[in-house]
Structure 1
């Protein structure tokens, strides 16, 4: 009779995979992930049928964790600026607080091992951000380019802000606010 799977062990494997992928990329052996998780190599495949399944589940796990970090205190009835600032601040703070997860997400974003379906599901996790950006674009009569362009600006400018703050600046909150101000101006905010 098969043993019931432990959610704690599954999360341990995901954590170990995050660490290994951040350090060595997606070509790192599963044996290394299993050792990092403190389990036998075969146990990893009890939880994830293959390395690719593990990486796709990890990708969605990290995306969901980031989204969940953005939701506490989300000012639903606030102005567009306040809502996008909340999103920006939470995104940047998560990246600063979780450099290994951020790096693993970068690696997985670029990996062909993560399927188109997983990338689409990862994007769906952030549908509330895309909806807000669409609302901003329409109300500010911005250039008629896909909202994904503005989402790309959000991503690149927030990454630049994270990189800057992670260098150990004296006033990280001021840097986060300055990064947001640049983004807000870039998308037509006043």
Structure 2
């Protein structure tokens, strides 16, 4: 008889997968993830049928945590630009607090490994759908692969995170500058 699955072990596997993806991208082998989690590779496959399922679950796990932080900063009664800045700041703060997780989620965001179901769930989790809809209306991205817009967002956020982490005393300045760049690209004509 198979042993019951442990939620603690599943979470340990997800955390190890985040570390592996942050280090090696989606090419991180399951053997590496298992070793980092301190379990046999077969144990990983008791919890996740394959690497793609693991990475999709990892993405949603990290995305939920990120959205919780964004939700705490959400004030729907504010104008769009103020909400956008609040969400940007919460995203950067979350990334600074969770550098491994932000690297992993950014690696997974721009791959083809995420299923359509995962993408649908992702959209349902985001706390400010109006902000997402406004961003998607940017003429720069309207007829292109959505992954291009994701990659552009990640590039701006990554630069902001890198400089805010290296010069914490100037983090507020970097967040503001990063937000202004983000807003010019993703929220034009929203002044």
The alignment's TM-score, normalised by the length of structure 2, stands at 0.79
Q: Which residue of 2 aligns with 1:75?
A: 75
Structure 2: segments with no counterpart, 5+ residues? none
Would the aligned equivalents of 2:73 and 2:90 in 1 still touch at CA under 8 Å? no
Alignment of 1:163-178 (within 5 A): 163-168=162-167, 170-178=169-177
- Deviations along 1:24-63, one digit per CA (max 9) or x if unpaired, are 2222321221121122221111111111111111112122
Q: Tell me how far apart the structure 2 counterparts of residues 155 and 124 of structure 1 sit (CA, whole Å).
A: 20
Q: Which residue of 2 aligns with 1:47?
A: 47
CA distance 1:47–1:78, change in 2 (3 Å) = same
What's the offset of the Cα at 1:119?
A: 3.2
Structure 1: segments with no counterpart, 5+ residues? none
What's the offset of the Cα at 1:14?
A: 0.3
CA distance 1:135–1:59, change in 2 (3 Å) = closer
Greater C-alpha Rg: 1
What's the offset of the Cα at 1:179?
A: 2.3
Would the aligned equivalents of 1:130 and 1:151 in 2 still touch at CA under 8 Å? no
Q: Tell me how far apart the structure 1 counterparts of residues 52 and 96 of structure 2 sit (CA, whole Å).
A: 27
Alignment of 1:124-143 (within 5 A): 124-126=124-126, 128-134=127-133
Q: Tell me how far apart the structure 1 counterparts of residues 52 and 28 of structure 2 sit (CA, whole Å).
A: 12
* Corresponding position: 1:159 with 2:158: yes
Would the aligned equivalents of 1:21 and 1:28 in 2 still touch at CA under 8 Å? yes
Q: Tell me how far apart the structure 1 counterparts of residues 124 and 162 of structure 2 sit (CA, whole Å).
A: 26
What's the offset of the Cα at 1:144?
A: 9.5
When structure 1 is superposed on structure 2, of 83-92 and 98-107 the one drifting more is: 98-107
Say how many residue pairs are matched.
186
CA distance 1:26–1:158, change in 2 (3 Å) = closer
Alignment of 1:27-106 (within 5 A): 27-106=27-106
What's the offset of the Cα at 1:91?
A: 1.0
The alignment's TM-score, normalised by the length of structure 1, stands at 0.79
Q: Which residue of 1 aligns with 2:189?
A: 188
> Aligned-pair RMSD on alpha carbons?
3.0
